[in-house]
Amino acid sequence: MSYGQDYYRSLCRNGNLRRSPTWVANYTAQKPVIDAQEAFGISAPCQVIANACASGTNAIGHAYECVRSGRYQRVLTGGYDALSELVFVGFDSLQASTAEKCRPFDRDRTGMVLGEGAAVLALENLDVARERGAPVLAEIIGYGISTDNFHMTQPNPSGIGPRQAMQRALQSARLPADKIDYINAHGTATLFNDAAEGKAISELFDHVPVSSTKGMMGHSLGAAGAIEAIICLLALQHQFLPPNINFRAQDEGVDLNIVANDARPMGLRTVLSNSFGFGGTNASIVIQKFHLRQGYGGQVGA
C-alpha cells in the first residue's frame, strides 16, 4: 500500500517519479508472495486471498481443505499486512479505531488499535509429515466460512455470520461445541464486532474460555488470522490460555468466560480461532493438539 501512496503523492505534487516503475511493480498484492518464493528458492502455485480481515484464517482454512482433499501434500499459508496512511485514516473515518487502549469485549471498549506483521504456517498431510519425521506442532481439523450480507462494514447484530462460520468449522471437524476448550476471538474491541461475536459464542458454547489477543498486538488485518493461529498453536503447545488484556467489566447482555488480563494454565486439547472482515466475510478454524494415535484419516498437520 505504501508504494501506491508514494506514487500518488508524487503525482499530486509533481514530485520525483524516477522510481515510479519500481513503486508500481511492487504495489501489487501478490508481489510479497512471489518475492518470498524467490527468497526460499521455491516455485509453487500461489493464490492470494484478499478477504479483508478474515484473509489470514481464510488462507489457512483453504490450504487445509486443499491438503485434506489429497490434491496437495504441503502448503505454505499465512497472512501479511503493513500499516499505511490510507488504511489508518480509513478506520479512523469509520470511528472504528481508538486513541485509547484496545479493550476487547469490555463494556467500555472504544475501538481497535491497528497493528502489522506476518505469520506463515506449513501445512502438510499428516501421514507424509510423519513419514519424513517432521515435528508436528498441531493438527488443523476443521474450517468454516460464511458470508453475512448485512452491511459492508458492520456484522449482522444477530451474530448469524460468526455463528454460521463456527458451526461449519465444528461440522467440518465433526466435533460438538463442548469439545472446544478455548476460543481465540476476532475481538477487535469495536462495539459492533464484539457484540455480534460475543452473542454468537454465548449461543453456541457453554462458558468456554474466550480471549482476544488484539489488545496485546493490535489488529493486523490480513495478517491477524495467521498470527492468532500461531498464538493458538503456542497455547496448545504450552497448555495455557492467552489473556484478554485491558479488560475491566463484562459487557451487559453478553455472558462470556473472558480470560481476563492474565494468562492461565489450562489443559487444552482443541481450540477454535475466529476472523471476520469487511464485506461480511467470516472464517473459523479448529486446531487440535497432536497426539500419536491410530487412524489419521483426513487430518492436516501444522
Partner 1 sequence: MSLAIAGMGWVTPLGNGVDPVWEQLLQGYEAATTRVSEEFGDRSYSAFRVPEFTLATLGPHPRLRRASLISRFAAAAGLEALQAAGVKLDSQSAERIALVFAISNGGVIYTKRFYRDIVETGAQSASPLLFPETVFNAPASHLAAILGITGATYTLVGDSAVGLLAIKMADDLMANEALDYCLVVGAEEADWLLCDAYRRWRLLRLTPPVEPFNEKKRGMILSEGAGAVLLARLPRRSAAEARDGPVAIECAHPGMSYRRRPEAEEVLKRILRDLSQVEIDFVISSANGTFIDHAECEALRQTIPDAFVYTVKPALGESVGAAGLWQVIAGTQALRSGELPPLLHAGPTIPLRTSASRTSLSGARHAIVLSCGINQQVAGLRLRKSSQAATGSELSIQ
Please pick, among 62, 66, 102, 186, the residue that the annotation labels catalytic. Answer: 186
DSSP code of residue 243: P
CA 171/CA 166 separation, integer angstroms = 9
Residue 16 in the binding site for partner 1 (CB under 8 A): no
- Decide: is 49 part of the binding site for partner 1 (CB under 8 A): yes
| Ranges within 90-119 binding partner 1 (CB under 8 A) | 90-95
CA distance 114 to 217: 8
Interhelix angle 2-12/85-93, rounded to 10 degrees, is 90
Amino acid identity of residue 193, one-letter, is: N
Residue 15 or 253 with smaller CB distance to partner 1 = 15
Decide if 291 is catalytic: no
Cα-based distances in Å from 26 to 30, 43, 67, 222: 9, 19, 30, 18
Active-site annotation holds for 238: no
Spatial distance between the Cα atoms of 288 and 272, rounded to a whole number of angstroms: 9
> Catalytic: which of 62, 66, 102, 219?
219
Q: CA dist 292 to 19, 173, 203, 235, 269, Å?
A: 54, 18, 33, 19, 13
Q: Does 80 bind partner 1 (CB under 8 A)?
A: no
**Nearer to partner 1 (CB atom), residue 44 or residue 249:** 44
At its nearest, how many Å lie between partner 1 and the CB of residue 72? Answer: 8
Q: How far is CA 1 from CA 58, 61, 168, 207, in A?
A: 21, 25, 33, 40
**14 lies in the binding site for partner 1 (CB under 8 A):** yes
Candidates 147, 237, 239, 261: give the one binding partner 1 (CB under 8 A): 147
Question: Residues 52 to 71: which contact partner 1 by CB under 8 A?
Answer: 52, 58, 62, 65-66, 69, 71
25 binds partner 1 (CB under 8 A): yes
Alpha carbons 209 and 109: distance in angstroms, whole number: 19
The verdict on whether 62 is a catalytic residue reads no
Strands 182-184 and 270-277 turn out to be parallel
C-alpha dist (Å) from residue 264 to 58, 177, 182, 189: 28, 21, 12, 21
| 3-state class (DSSP) for residue 80 | strand
Candidate list 85, 100, 206, 255; residue touching partner 1; CB under 8 A: 85
Name which of residues 273 to 302 contact partner 1 (CB under 8 A): 277-281
Size of the site for partner 1 (CB under 8 A): 58
Shortest distance, position 258 Cβ to partner 1, whole Å: 29
Site for partner 1 in 215-274 (CB under 8 A): none
Nearer to partner 1, 47 or 261 (CB): 47
H/E run at residue 12: helix 2-12
Is the CB of 150 or the CB of 240 nearer to partner 1? 150
120 binds partner 1 (CB under 8 A): no
Closer to partner 1 by Cβ: residue 22 or 261: 22
Distance in angstroms (rounded) separating the CA atoms of residues 25 and 83 = 19
The residues carrying an active-site annotation are 53, 186, 219
In the complex, the residues that contact partner 1 under the rule CB under 8 A are 5, 7-9, 11-12, 14, 17, 20-21, 24-25, 27-31, 34, 37-38, 43-52, 58, 62, 65-66, 69, 71, 85-86, 89-95, 145-149, 152-153, 164, 277-281
